[in-house]
Structure 1
Amino acid sequence: MASKTLWVIIFSLVITNCVTIGYFTSKNQGQGAIPVSSSDDEQNEVIATIGEETITRDQWMNKLEEQFGQETLKELVNLHVVEELAEKYEITVSDEIIQRELAVYKSMYNSLDEEQFGNEQNWEQQIRYSILLEELLTRDASVSEEEIKKFYDSNKELYDIDETFHLSHIIVKSEKEANMVIEELNGGSSFEALALEVSTDEFTANQGGDIGFISTNNEYVPGAYLEEASSLDKGEWSGAIKVDTGYAVIMLHEKIEGKAYTYDDVKSQIRRQIALEQMEGSVSVDPLWDEIGVTWFYENK
């Protein structure tokens, strides 16, 4: 399997589980134990009325469990399995490694909008979870220094991060309209609200103008965006920019500096990647369940 293909597969696994893991982690940290029962009044509470028919909270919760219960419980079990085994084997992940991988993801993918993928804290939690899982699955794998160095030398472009900007834009038909947008922004108006109200780019207007993370080698945005973004500070917006469909105003959310990671920076990641390539089957927590001993509600269903 080509290295870039494996990289994309691993990244896709992160996307698939990001919101779920972030949700459970935040819930567990903020609320402690998960409630397992409720009063009869709560169960019989009417939460929707359709004509003469009603839907109770109990009916709603039963339907949720029927459709999502097994999958959701399994995600929660997986989280605890990985955390407990990581503690057992004294496997940790530094903030430096988490931030490096987050920067790589941002620079490679342009659609990391908050609505679809959750906030950055959830991303950090999921990256940590994924690295712990990979370390657990590959802890007994034998990968030579020579293999790791050869992979690095053959795939250095994977570890060269281009300067990247997280941008939003508002597109209008004329320079006069663009200047009016700038006046409203200077007066305290919300960029997201203005994008939704006046931007002619319907696709991004619904996202508050967010166009994601744009690297300097991106060919799908106007070059003027990148030139202008390089001179902006976080939270600042540009002047009117001439584009094919009219005029644009952009805002910078975040700037990621370009960097070429050294062999020592990514050695452990490459070791895991090679070991995962050698594994049979998919990257999964399932093999760890027997080791730690898991019993659960759906076991005999």
Structure 2
Amino acid sequence: MSGRTLWSIIFGLILINCITVGYFLSKERGILPVSSNGETIATIGEVTITREQWMAELESRYGKDTLKDLVNMKVVEELAEKYAITVSEDVMERELAVYKSMYNSLDEEQPGNEENWEQQIRYSILLEELLTRDVLVTEKEMETFYENNKDLYSIKEAYHLSHIVVKTEKEANMLLDELAGGSSFEALALEKSLDEFTANQGGDIGFVSKDNEYVPGAYLEAVLKLGEGDWSEPIQVDEGYAIILLHKKLEGETYSYKEVKGQIRRQIALEQMEGPVSAEPLWDEIGVSWFYGKK
């Protein structure tokens, strides 16, 4: 398995939980509505569905797993504070940059937003540090791993793009007029783009690099002339004409051994452990009791 593929798997697993994390964090903050007696939330003919029925169904389907995720988050936070384990801004920026360099909505759907990514990445790092804090990894092991896996710690120059695809050049020029008049790029993409894979995401393609196989080469030529927040002139593509918007440029970078030493230590240490990477082995240390009894 190549290093790049391994990174994709690692971040894929991390990001799978982002929707769930966002759900229970929102619930914890009181964003989800609370139950009120007999409130009807849907009517189907003469049949009604109450809020209580809806919440009971949500709990039966997702309650245990969601509560377990929330408990795990709290366990990790409490133990990280106990052992004075923190995640620096530099580490967060690097981990987030690596994920962004892989994120492409045309490749596969990946849920959540940047805030959720940061929350989940921070949680994963803290959890790994807690689980491996007593595992000894030598300097030689880490240096050898770095030399053999440098591609894991290198990101390519990439561009976060959105696009709107229409049939004719005339339609594309009309889009430019609407954008110049203050219309939202996202709203126009949702309303008018022919690309069904990205229209519902406001045209968001994700980050693309020069060797990306999912976007026309003309996009990567046009983006070189754009500043962040700028959109292009009409670009001819197979489906017609496209307008692209550059959200952000991600500079390419190769990280030094010193910068990624902590990450390498965790990775080697985790490979020496048995079982999945989970916060549940930490429950006994902090003392957890919950609605569903024993874990």
TM-score if structure 1 supplies the norm length? Answer: 0.89
2:95 is aligned, of 96, 101, 108, to 101
CA RMSD of aligned residues (A): 2.5
Structure 1 moving runs of 4+ over 4 Å? 1-6
Instruction: Answer whether contact 1:22 1:126 (CA < 8 A) is retained.
Output: no
Q: Deviations over 1:3-29 (max 9, x none)?
A: 55543332122112223224444554x
Partner of 2:62: 68
- What is the letter of the counterpart of residue 149 of structure 1? E
* Superposed displacement of residue 174, structure 1: 2.6
Partner of 1:7: 7
Question: Given the superposition, is the C-alpha separation of residues 165 and 267 from structure 1 closer, same or farther in structure 2, using an over 3 Å criterion?
Answer: same
Q: Deviations over 1:185-242 (max 9, x none)?
A: 1111121222223222222222221111112221221222122223322221001112
Q: Secondary structure at the match of 2:42?
A: strand
- What is the letter of the counterpart of residue 99 of structure 1? E
- What is the letter of the counterpart of residue 18 of structure 2? C
What is the 5 A alignment of 1:14-163? 14-25=14-25, 28=28, 30-31=29-30, 42-111=36-105, 117-163=111-157
What is the 5 A alignment of 1:149-188? 149-188=143-182
Question: Given the superposition, is the C-alpha separation of residues 94 and 191 from structure 1 closer, same or farther in structure 2, using an over 3 Å criterion?
Answer: same
Q: Deviations over 1:56-97 (max 9, x none)?
A: 222222221111111111011001000001011110001111
TM-score if structure 2 supplies the norm length? Answer: 0.91
Q: Secondary structure at the match of 2:242?
A: strand
Instruction: Answer whether contact 2:105 2:198 (CA < 8 A) is retained.
Output: no
CA–CA distance in structure 2, aligned partners of residues 117 and 242 of structure 1 = 30
CA–CA distance in structure 1, aligned partners of residues 105 and 291 of structure 2 = 37
Instruction: Answer whether contact 1:106 1:112 (CA < 8 A) is retained.
Output: no
What is the 5 A alignment of 1:221-240? 221-240=215-234
Partner of 2:214: 220
Q: Deviations over 1:112-139 (max 9, x none)?
A: 99x9522211211111111001111111
1:285 is aligned, of 279, 288, 292, to 279
Unaligned runs of 5+ in 2: none
- What is the letter of the counterpart of residue 182 of structure 1? L
Q: Secondary structure at the match of 2:17?
A: helix
Question: Given the superposition, is the C-alpha separation of residues 75 and 282 from structure 1 closer, same or farther in structure 2, using an over 3 Å criterion?
Answer: same
Q: Deviations over 1:127-157 (max 9, x none)?
A: 1111001111111111111111111111112
Question: Given the superposition, is the C-alpha separation of residues 95 and 4 from structure 1 closer, same or farther in structure 2, using an over 3 Å criterion?
Answer: same
CA–CA distance in structure 2, aligned partners of residues 52 and 107 of structure 1 = 52
